[in-house]
Amino acid sequence: MNSLASVKSYSTRIDAEVDRGYLESQNIQAFVTADDEGGMAPFLIQSTKYGVQLMVSKRNFNKAKNLLKAKL
């Protein structure tokens, strides 16, 4: 996969995982990143409003962004 870009930020890993699943159902590979010790310490991201990132390849960035906007 080429370079990654953050397509959206979240305050919880769960919300990011829902959108990751949606993007993958649309054939866009996506990854969730968070500085929360692999989900074992979610309190680490609660102090920041958008500590969880949904990452996609730069090649798929615009398509992913549009799909997420249309989902709302």
How do residues 25-44 score in pLDDT, each as one tens digit?
999 999 999 875 555 555 55
Sheet holding 4-10, edge to edge: 4-10, 52-57, 30-34
- What confidence score (pLDDT) does residue 13 get? 86
- What confidence score (pLDDT) does residue 1 get? 47
The predicted model scores a pTM of 0.79
- Gyration radius of the chain over CA positions: 12
Spatial separation of the C-alpha atoms in residues 36 and 27, rounded to whole Å: 27
Low-confidence ranges of the chain (pLDDT < 50): 1
- What confidence score (pLDDT) does residue 2 get? 67
The angle formed by the CA atoms of residues 66, 3 and 65, to the nearest 5 degrees, is: 10
